[in-house]
Structure formats: structure tokens, C-alpha cells
Structure 1
Amino acid sequence: MSWEPRPTPEITPETERYWSAAADGTLLVRECTDCGLVYHYPRALCPDCFSDDVEWKEASGEGTVYSYSATQSMSGWPEEDLPLVLAYVELEEGPRVMTNLECDPEDVEIGTRVTVRFKAVEDADAAVPVFVPRE
């Protein structure tokens, strides 16, 4: 059993545009026009100043591994998709995103430069961003 395509994430009115853009190969973040904070996970209010004056911003899809962990077993995760490398990636725009790294654990360390890729999900109107080490 492999997760190709992966299960569809929960899509809400606040996140619908994010998932739709991912299906088109674009990574979006939110930016508060009041305080200037660029943030991720998408939500309607700025997590810093609570303003609702926020806009979508296209991210470069480039970042740096801030932290990571690898596991050889994960309940419910297809064995052929292991090892699983989970990471926080700090995007060039500033926010850190929790994600999967698609690489062997030996090929990553804190500070590794990465770039986004998008994995298909069951719903064609969404995709999941994952990251791979830059060439």
C-alpha cells in the first residue's frame, strides 16, 4: 500500500485557496497588511495583531531545514514510504512550515537548502507541499 495519491487534507473555507494553489504548483503564505507579519498556516486573522486585513502572498518555495526527525516506523504509514522524514522548513519569506522531506535521512541536516514539490491527493483540487534538498 503506497499513498499515491495521498489522502486529502481537511479543506476549510479559510484554507481552500491554499490547497487549490498547491494543486496548481504554487505555495501560498498569508501576509498581514497592518503589522507586516508573513505567516503559515493559513487563517483569516493575523496571529500577531489579530487583524483581518491579510492577503495571500506567493512564496518562492525555497527554504532551509530548521529542524527534522526521521522514523523507520509510523502507525498507518505505508511501509514502502519509510523512512519518514518530518521537518520544519524556514521559508525565505520567514515563516516555518511543518512538512515532509522526500529524501533519505542521511541526505539532510539542519541548514540544508530545500525546494518545494507538490504531491497529488485524492481530491484533484488540492495537493500537499513536500520539500526536497536543492541540487
Structure 2
Amino acid sequence: MKEIVRAWRHIPQRYSLIGSKCSHCGKVFFPKRVLCPECRSKGDLKDIALKGEGKIHSYSVINTPTDDFKLIAPYVVAIVELIEGAKITTQIVDCNSKDVEIGSEVELVFRKIKEEGDDGVISYGYKFKLKE
């Protein structure tokens, strides 16, 4: 039951990129924060809808994954710097890992994250793909 409650509570973060922008220093963060990690200002953070576009800042190709991800290996995990300035760790999908480069432009997509339980409940969330 705890997992169901947690899943429902995290739905806004799974299906949209909502970050925080500090009214004091102007920095943008994802996920949302209540305290600015840059200037330590508290309570001056406003929600901001992130556009879901950016560039690959760094990446790694995972060839030997955990059991949960064996079926999709090899796959790419990257740190993407969004156009608003926030950085996000995400999987890069729908491409050959050899096509991924630092500086490649990417865009938000929604994909299957995992399938849970005997009923096969599918959880979706954000990932990124190379821009065409």
C-alpha cells in the first residue's frame, strides 16, 4: 500500500517537468526545492514549468545493468542541461548509443519506466531523446 501512496504523490513530477526558480538569485532547479541550494534562500522559490529541451552535459553507456534493466542494455544515462539552466539525470532513448555526444540537443518524451505486480501496472515517466 505504501508504494501506491508514494506513486500517486509523485505523479506531478513523473508527468511534467516542474522545477523551482529562486526569486533571490534567479537559479532554476529540478526537482522542485523549498531551499535554494545556490544562495540558501528559503521561501523565495517559485514553481516553473520547464520546456523539456536542452543539451547533453555528460553521459555514460550502461552495458552491465542491474537485473531490472537487463532487457534494455546497453542504454544511455545522461546529465542534461535544460535551456532554463537546471540539470537533470535521465535516460536517453530511441537512439543508438554511438550517436550520443556531449552537446547533442535533446527533447522530453514520455516512456514506460517499469511494470509492477501481477496485474502488470505500467508506470510512465520522462526520458529524453535526441532532437531530429
TM-score (norm 2): 0.77
How far did 1:76 drift? 2.1
Q: Report 1 or 2 for greater relative contact order, CA contacts < 8 Å, sequence distance ≥ 6.
A: 1
Pair 46,105 (structure 1): closer, same or farther in 2 beyond 3 Å: same
RMSD of aligned residue pairs (Cα, Å): 2.7
Separation in structure 1 between the aligned mates of residue 124 and residue 20 of structure 2, nearest angstrom? 18
Aligned 8 A contact 2:106 2:130 in 1: yes
The yes-or-no answer on 1:128 pairing with 2:128 is: no
Aligned residues: 121
Calculate percent identity across the aligned residue pairs: 31
Pair 86,40 (structure 1): closer, same or farther in 2 beyond 3 Å: same
More helix by share: 2
More strand by share: 2
Pair 43,87 (structure 1): closer, same or farther in 2 beyond 3 Å: same
Moved over 3 A (4+): 10-13, 120-124
Unpaired runs of at least 5, structure 1? 1-6
Aligned 8 A contact 1:64 1:114 in 2: yes
TM-score (norm 1): 0.76
